[in-house]
């Protein structure tokens, strides 16, 4: 049997020449296309605005080029052989079928290439794991289907928190009105962080697994209920950065965007101070007495943020999974019953315990709203203290 490379000398030379030419042309083409692609940002990974994201981008491009080169070489040999070694061209088959030398070569060389890739990858990964030394900490908590951002002080105590829910109107999704520029990637209240600070994120979830991802920061981490993950980022440019939940988390998984606004330090400080004030106002509202109109207005807002996704804007729900609130016995019945449903949820169903997410004022408002909307007409006025009473009564 002929071993590889025992083809006649002239033939070999011709093959080699042709092959080199083909390889060269293929490579040139690939490099052209590839570098074109790399520039168009809708086609490629974003370079991002953190040191880490840039390192990741470089890593990505380097492996990509290596793969392209190996691919071009392998496919060129194949193509050459397909064109030259055709039966129809009268080519007589060689009979070689092994060569230890060649086999060794194509085991060892790829191994070396892989090691070459693994070394920088290890470096980047280590850099990512370099937590600690942070300037501030924010808890990121995934809910079906929204994010909660809780700003923590040095002792991990909450200073204030808020929910961040998608703000794209249903009409745009259903094609009833034109889609805006940031369709599906916009929220009512973005997370705000200062630039050039090491911000540490503690990522967890309330119900199912979500994943928090900001492509421009080069970070993504699963939010696992009951478990905690750490992430960090130093954002170098102010701006609005958009991402999405990337772990299937149920019906509205596609509708829980992540929006982060990186602000210059002074703007951030001003905003932070205003949040502390708002927090005080909120705390005071718990003991306030509202008018029916105030409650309706506030309640509509809460309902629109927290309840519509399941019970729908018209209160009709999506039976049988999500019951209608319009005409529901619970909603039109005794007040305490409904407040309990909201505070503690219905375990084992999608109806969560909102007692943790909404304060008494919000709860009172939304209860009031549901009792007096969608054709429901109970007429009583629900105050925050009613909710507090139910809470403490337990």
Partner 1 sequence: MANSQENPNYYVPESSWYPVGIAAAVFCLILGLGNFLNDIKSGGDGSLFMSLLGLALIFTVLYFWYGTVIRENESGIVNTQLKKSYVWGMGWFIFSEVMFFAAFFGALFYARVLAVSWLGGEGGKGITGEYLWPEFKPEWPVMTNPNPELFPGPAENMQAPSTASAWAKYLPLWNTVILLSSSWTVHMAHSAIKNSKRGAIKFWLGLTVLLGCIFLVLQAEEYIHAYQELGLTLETGIYGSTFFILTGFHGFHVTLGTLILAVSLYRVFRGHFNHEDCFGFEAASWYWHFVDVVWVCLFFFVYIF
Partner 2 sequence: MSEVVVGHDHHDDDDHHHGPAKGIARWLFTTNHKDIGTLYLWFSFAMFLIGGCMALVIRTELFEPGLQFVDPEFFNQMTTNHGLIMVFGAIMPAFVGLANWLIPMQLGAPDMALPRMNNLSFWILPFAFGLMLSTLFMEGGGPNFGWTFYAPLSTTYAPDSVTFFIFAVHMMGASSIMGSINIIATILNMRAPGMTFMKMPLFCWTWLITAYLLIAVMPVLAGAVTMMLFDIHFGTSFFSAAGGGDPVMFQHIFWFFGHPEVYIMILPAFGIVSAIIPTFARKPLFGYDSMVYATASIAFLSFIVWAHHMFTVGMPLAGQLFFMYSTMFIAVPTGVKVFNWVATMWQGSMTFETPMLFAIAFVVLFTMGGFSGLMLAITPADYQYHDTYFVVAHFHYVLVPGALFSIIAAVYFWLPKWCGNMYDESLGKLHFWLSFVGVNVTFFPQHFSGLAGMPRRIPDYALQFADFNMISSMGAFLFGFSQLLFMYIVIKAIRSGKPATGQVWEGAHGLEWTIPSPAPYHTFTTPPVVSDSNAHN
Contacts 24+ apart (CB under 8 A), 52-59: 52/124, 52/127, 52/128, 52/217, 52/218, 52/219, 52/233, 53/215, 53/216, 53/217, 53/218, 53/219, 54/218, 55/124, 55/127, 55/218, 56/124, 56/218, 57/218, 59/120, 59/121, 59/124
Among 187, 191, 202, 249, binds ligand CUA (CB under 6 A): 249
Least Å from the CB of residue 357 to partner 1? 17
Least Å from the CB of residue 206 to ligand CUA? 11
- Please measure the distance between the N-terminal and C-terminal CA atoms of the chain and give it in whole angstroms: 88
Report the Cα 283 to chain-centroid distance in Å.
31
The residue (of 4 and 74) whose beta carbon lies closer to ligand HEA is: 74
The residue (of 70 and 318) whose beta carbon lies closer to ligand HEA is: 70
The residue (of 229 and 246) whose beta carbon lies closer to partner 1 is: 229
- Rounded Cα–Cα distance for residues 289 and 357 (Å): 21
Site string for ligand CUA, 253-292 (x = CB under 6 A): x--x------------------------------------
The residue (of 193 and 310) whose beta carbon lies closer to ligand HEC is: 310
Among 323, 335, 371, 384, binds ligand HEC (CB under 6 A): 323
Binder of residue 215, out of partner 1, partner 2, ligand HEA, none (CB less than 5 to 8 A by kind): partner 2
Q: Which stretch binds ligand HEC (CB under 6 A): 2-10, 159-167, 190-198, 303-311?
A: 303-311
Binder of residue 351, out of ligand HEC, partner 2, ligand HEA, none (CB less than 5 to 8 A by kind): ligand HEC
- Rounded Cα–Cα distance for residues 187 and 242 (Å): 10
DSSP string, 28-53: HHHHHHHHHHHHSTTTS----SSHHH
3-state secondary structure at position 23: helix
Q: Which stretch binds ligand HEA (CB under 6 A): 1-9, 107-115, 132-140, 361-369?
A: 107-115
**Could you say whether residue 102 binds ligand HEA (CB under 6 A)?**
no
On the question of a cis peptide bond just before residue 320, with omega within 30 degrees of 0, the verdict is yes
The residue (of 33 and 67) whose beta carbon lies closer to ligand HEA is: 67
Residues present in the chain in total: 394
Q: Which residues bind partner 1 (CB under 8 A)?
A: 156, 202, 204, 226-230
Least Å from the CB of residue 120 to partner 2? 9
**Other C-beta atoms lying within 10 Å of the C-beta of residue 111:** 10
- With b meaning 16 or more CB within 10 Å and e meaning fewer, what string describes 305-325? bbbebbbbeebebeeeebbbb
Tokens 């937590």 belong to 131
Which of the residues 67 through 86 are near ligand HEA (CB under 6 A)? Answer: 67, 70, 74
Which of the residues 348 through 367 are near ligand HEC (CB under 6 A)? Answer: 349-351, 354, 366
CB 161 within 8 A of CB 151: yes
**Chain contacts with ligand HEC (rule: CB under 6 A):** 144, 306-307, 309-311, 321-323, 325, 328-331, 338, 341-342, 346, 349-351, 354, 366, 370
């Amino acid at each position: 049997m002929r071993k590889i490379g025992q083809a006649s000398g002239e033939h070999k030379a011709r093959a080699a020449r042709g092959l080199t030419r083909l390889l060269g042309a293929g490579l040139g083409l690939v490099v052209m296309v590839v570098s074109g692609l790399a520039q168009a940002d809708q086609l490629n990974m974003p370079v991002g605005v953190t040191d880490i994201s840039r390192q990741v981008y470089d890593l990505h491009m380097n492996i990509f080029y290596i793969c392209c080169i190996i691919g071009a070489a392998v496919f060129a040999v194949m193509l050459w052989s397909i064109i030259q070694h055709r039966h129809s061209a009268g080519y007589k088959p060689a009979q070689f079928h092994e060569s230890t030398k060649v086999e060794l070569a194509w085991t060892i060389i790829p191994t070396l290439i892989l090691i070459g890739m693994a070394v920088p990858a290890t470096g980047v990964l280590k850099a990512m794991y370099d937590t600690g030394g942070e300037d501030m900490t924010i808890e990121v908590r995934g809910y079906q289907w929204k994010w909660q951002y809780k700003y923590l002080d040095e002792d991990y105590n909450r200073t204030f928190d808020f929910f961040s829910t998608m703000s794209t109107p249903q009409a745009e999704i259903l094609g009833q009105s034109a889609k805006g520029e940031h369709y599906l990637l916009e929220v009512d209240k973005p997370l705000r962080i200062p630039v050039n600070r090491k911000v540490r994120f503690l990522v967890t979830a309330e119900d199912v697994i979500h994943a928090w991802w900001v492509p421009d920061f080069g970070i993504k981490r699963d939010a696992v209920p009951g478990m905690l993950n750490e992430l960090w980022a130093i954002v170098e440019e102010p701006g609005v950065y958009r991402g999405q939940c990337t772990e299937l988390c149920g019906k509205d998984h596609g509708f829980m965007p992540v929006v982060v606004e990186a602000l210059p330090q002074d703007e951030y400080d001003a905003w932070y101070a205003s949040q502390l004030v708002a927090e005080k106002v909120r705390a005071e509202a718990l003991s306030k007495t509202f008018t029916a109109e105030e409650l309706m207005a506030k309640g509509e807002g809460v309902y629109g943020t927290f309840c519509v996704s399941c019970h729908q804007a018209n209160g009709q729900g999506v039976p049988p999974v999500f019951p209608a609130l319009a005409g529901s016995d619970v909603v039109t019945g005794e007040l305490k019953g409904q407040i309990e449903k909201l505070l503690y949820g219905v375990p084992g169903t999608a109806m969560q315990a909102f007692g943790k997410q909404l304060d008494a004022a919000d709860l009172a408002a939304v209860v009031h709203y549901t009792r007096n909307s969608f054709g429901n007409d109970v007429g009583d006025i629900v105050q925050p203290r009613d909710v507090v009473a139910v809470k403490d009564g337990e």
